[in-house]
């Protein structure tokens, strides 16, 4: 099963994905990441762009064995083995799901500090897709 994302759709989310930009609701000041058409708090649809620091802590994680990830990650799993995916509680409040890189899953601890890095995600339509992964803060 694949999570196909067309090149135009992938490109439209570059700011959120590569620069970690959230939406700050103009009505209630809530940070919304990833940004949605409406604020989940008050329902308003007007946002300003708010940069996120890219730092946070590991909230939870799982290890996805071969065959468990979407098809676009098959090559990565073939080269590196199982994928570690976690929920990261960003310093500013939002939680984000991302791959955890450069860490043996045996060394991960809930609450450990992490830092965002831009890395290759996968190839699709002959184009390398980049996005945010998280690494232990000491390694960044």
pLDDT in tens, 81-110: 678 889 999 999 999 989 899 999 999 999
pTM for this one?
Answer: 0.77
pLDDT for the residue numbered 2: 47
Which one of 2.40.50.840, 3.20.20.370, 3.30.465.10, 1.10.8.60 gives the CATH number of domain 7-139? 2.40.50.840
Of residues 11 and 20, more confidence is placed in: 20
**Mean pLDDT for all residues in the chain:** 81
Torsion angle in degrees (nearest 10) through CA of 110, 114, 116, 118: -90
How many Å apart are CA 17 and CA 98, to the nearest integer?
11
How many Å apart are CA 52 and CA 137, to the nearest integer?
16
Q: How many CA atoms lie within 13 A of 1 on its CB side?
A: 2
pLDDT for the residue numbered 77: 54
The mean pLDDT value for 38-66 works out to: 93
For the chain, what are the domain ranges?
7-139
pLDDT for the residue numbered 1: 39
Q: Does 79 have pLDDT greater than 60?
A: no
Which of 58-62, 115-119, 123-127 is predicted most confidently?
A: 58-62
Question: pLDDT grade, residue 51 (50/70/90)?
Answer: very high
């Amino acid at each position: 099963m694949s999570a196909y994302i067309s090149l135009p759709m992938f490109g439209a989310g570059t700011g959120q994905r590569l620069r970690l930009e959230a939406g700050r609701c103009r009505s209630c000041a809530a940070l919304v990441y990833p940004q949605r058409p409406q604020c989940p708090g008050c329902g308003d649809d007007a946002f300003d762009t708010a940069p996120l620091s890219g730092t946070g802590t590991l909230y939870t994680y799982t290890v996805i064995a071969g065959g468990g990830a979407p098809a676009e990650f098959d090559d990565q799993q073939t080269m590196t083995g199982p994928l570690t995916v976690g929920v990261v509680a960003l310093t500013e409040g939002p939680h984000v799901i991302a791959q955890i890189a450069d860490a043996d899953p045996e060394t991960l601890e809930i609450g450990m500090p992490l830092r965002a890095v831009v890395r290759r995600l996968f190839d699709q339509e002959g184009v390398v897709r980049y996005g945010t992964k998280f690494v232990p803060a000491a390694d960044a």
